[in-house]
Copies of this chain bind each other. A is one copy, B any other.
Amino acid sequence: MTTSVDVQSPVHLTAVAADNLPAVTPDLEDLYREFERELLIPLWTEIGDLMPLSPRSKAVPHRWRWGSLRALAARAGDLVPVGRGGERRAIALANPGLAGRPFATPTLWAAIQYLLPGENAPEHRHTQHAFRFVLEGEGVWTVVDGDPVAMRRGDFLPQAGWNWHAHHNATTEPMAWIDGLDIPLQYLTESQFFEYGRDEISDAEKTTPERSRSERLWGHPGLRPLAASARPATPGSPLLAYRWEATDRALTDQLALEKEGYGGTVEPGHAAVRYTDPATGADVLPTIRVEFHRIARTAETEPVKETGSSVYTVFDGSGTVTVGEKTWSVGRGDLFVVPSWQPFSARSQAGDSDSDSGALDLFRFSDSPVFEALKLSRVVREAAP
């Protein structure tokens, strides 16, 4: 797919006689060889790939099954220790279109991370913006700049760049969660810094407060602490945990408001919230937008195309999702990617039991803030067929 690479003579120009391209005469062949020697490539042979009429993503729609991920992570738990150097027992989605790199999309990293009872993932910090989202279990503490933050199912923990952080599993069970980062974006734009912290966090940091200090300062709706020290120097949200109870309540409220006739939803049966920095109202991370969508029983979303890519995780329920030309059934824990400009829609699929709410709960993260900051964002809603 990509040009093969030879570092001694990196440019190999294949003068393909495409539409509107000049016929390849011996003189032109000569010129192309000269271009190669001088490390030059003409626009006219490349423009179709470089400047398409609309985004043609190298990434492809793909779905990963939670069952397989979970089982492989457990096996890695048996075979691969966590420690300095490897840093984390994280296993990343590798989009089959992205040249064998551990990139879910061209800009986003998505991985399952797995920590055994008593294990510590050592402290470090990096410029890559990151978050954790907990699909199952509880009992791990992410310690951010000395502030232990509990992790429980449904919790979202942003980790903006250049904050020290470590993980500690204080329970007797292994725990798995989703890591999202902008590793590919920073890899491609080459802006990454990384620093090692302490090899082990202190005992005090392994204690288990119900609420982190960040939540006690920043977790009160619309109330900003006035202490100068309350706002960290690093970018991104000072609130280190967005608890499931609040997210669930917000979505429940929206669907109830809709039922009462007051709107509140994105479209019929489709509730959604964005995680934001309470100090600014902006996206929770400078390069990553994070949202939670609830598709009510029997509801279906209108197909949407956007510049930029997304990774979705099914938090709960089951349903059918369509990405470009692919359609999959999905259930709890499954992950899938939506490449740039591929239409996406989702439909909930009520289970048999009455106790099932029938809603499809989707956690989503995307690179939208990048496109908005660079004035390259486009969104098109298309009426479903």
Contacts and interface: CB of A to CB of B under 8 A. Distances in A.
Contact of A62 (B39, B111, B219, B370): B39
Interface string A113-142: 000000000000011100000000000000
A284 interface: yes
A353 B51 CA distance: 46
Interface string A234-278: 011101001000110110011011000011111000001111111
Given A39-B94, A46-B1, A227-B266, A284 B222 contact: yes
Q: Kindly report how many copies of this chain are found in the complex they form together.
A: 4
A214 B19 CA distance: 36
A375 B239 contact: no
Contacts of A12: 1, 100
Contact of A370 (B225, B276, B308, B374): B374
B226 A43 contact: no
B19 A264 contact: no
Contact of A224 (B216, B226, B264, B273): B273
Contact of A191 (B5, B100, B307): B307
Contacts of A44: 80, 85-90
Contacts of A56: 190
Interface string A179-202: 000010111111111110000000
Interface stretch (A101-109, A168-176, A317-325, A355-363): A101-109
A95 interface: yes
Contacts of A153: none
A326 interface: no
Given A40-B92, A62-B39, A191-B55, A276 B3 contact: no
B22 A81 contact: yes
Interface residues of A, number: 159
B220 A95 contact: no
A350 interface: no
A242 B223 contact: yes
Interface string A1-19: 1111101001111100011
Interface in A25-47: 25, 27-28, 31, 34-35, 38-47
Among A78, A272, A375, the most chain B Cβ lie within 10 Å of the Cβ of A375
A100 B62 CA distance: 28
A93 interface: yes
A229 B254 CA distance: 12
A163 interface: no
A5 B2 contact: yes
7 contacts: A11-B94, A34-B75, A43-B92, A55-B192, A223-B274, A223-B275, A230-B263
